[in-house]
Amino acid sequence: MTPTDLRRLAATLDAGVTHHDDPAGDDDFVAEILEIARETGAPRTRILRVVADALDANIELEREAAIAATSARHSAFVLTALPAFTLIVTELFGMHALGFLLGGPIGWLCLAVGLGASFGGWMWMDRLRRRIAAPSPATGILGDVVAEILSVTGIRADVENSLRASGERWGVGSEWTSIVDIRATARETGIPVSGLIRAESHERRRLTRFTVREAIERLPGQMLIPLGVCLFPAFVVLTVVPAVAGMAQGFFRSSS
């Protein structure tokens, strides 16, 4: 379910609509959230809205990462394909660059070096693009759910096991360790535990957002390195050198 669906479900439950035997439908994630609320006695609608707010932030960041990675992939494709396009243009203008590349040892060497550099540049850029790791949509949600539960009730040992298992299924199992540590600290200091856990979840999302956006901002500058080291030399040996050599060969033929 999307955050909007979760809020709609919360509004439906608030209105007392009970004609659905299973309000979560086939969504295992929502079913787990509702089951946790049922086991703890926490208000289902409040839990659903908390989860919806957290998902909103995580999905927005995930979308930013996906757009940046896709843009980088398209840029890498265009830059890698540029020599091939330029070769076609040189043939149309009668420079015979392709004939030079296929017509002798020097051309074969240029072709091998250019293709190797192009492939290396593509792989390098692709590796840089993959550094923008999309965050888990569930980042911080386990802490938000636990904080909401603890703000109204306690958590039994069997429910703790369920929460730990849910965190592992959502891909955020490490968050449970932080929650346990925070609860221990709260018991020692007397500080309200729900506020500490909620702050930890907020900080976790903030750090994730900072890491992803920093990677997005650094990507254009990083892509200049394979452009200069691999793709520009590939363009030169695949297009400039063959075009000049082809024009020179044509000039000498016409002179003779």
Q: Report the alpha-carbon distance of residue 165 to residue 183 in Å, rounded.
A: 18
Stretch 121-131: mean pLDDT: 91
Residue 38 has pLDDT above 70, yes or no: yes
Question: What band does 122 get if pLDDT is binned at 50, 70 and 90?
Answer: very high
Task: Compute the C-alpha angle 37/39/43, nearest 5°.
Answer: 30
Q: Report the alpha-carbon distance of residue 46 to residue 52 in Å, rounded.
A: 10
pLDDT > 90 in the chain, percent: 23
Q: Report the alpha-carbon distance of residue 239 to residue 245 in Å, rounded.
A: 10
The pLDDT assigned to 252 comes to: 64
Q: Tokens 């993959």: give the residue.
A: 130
Stretch 81-88: mean pLDDT: 88
* Cα pseudo-dihedral 44, 45, 50, 52, rounded to 10: 110
Asked if residue 52 lies in contact with residue 10, where contact means CB atoms within 8 angstroms, the answer is yes
The pLDDT assigned to 2 comes to: 83
Tell me the per-residue pLDDT of 127-183, one tens digit each, with 9 for 90 and over: 998 888 777 888 888 888 888 888 877 787 778 888 888 888 888 888 888 888 888
Q: Report the alpha-carbon distance of residue 45 to residue 141 in Å, rounded.
A: 15
Instruction: Indicate the domain borders of the chain.
Output: 3-255
Question: What band does 16 get if pLDDT is binned at 50, 70 and 90?
Answer: confident
Question: 202-219 in b/e burial notation, b at 16+ Cβ within 10 A?
Answer: bebbeebbeebeebbeeb
Name every residue whose Cβ is closer than 8 Å to that of residue 244 and which is 6 or more positions away in sequence. none
- Quote the tokens at residue 136: 């888990």
The pLDDT assigned to 250 comes to: 66
- Quote the tokens at residue 96: 């015979």
Name every residue whose Cβ is closer than 8 Å to that of residue 191 and which is 6 or more positions away in sequence. 185
Q: Report the alpha-carbon distance of residue 98 to residue 90 in Å, rounded.
A: 8
Asked if residue 125 lies in contact with residue 226, where contact means CB atoms within 8 angstroms, the answer is yes
Mean pLDDT, the chain, rounded, equals 85
Residue 19 has pLDDT above 50, yes or no: no
CA Rg, the chain, in Å?
29
More confidently predicted of 137 and 198: 198
Residues in the chain: 256
DSSP state of 103: S
The pLDDT assigned to 251 comes to: 65
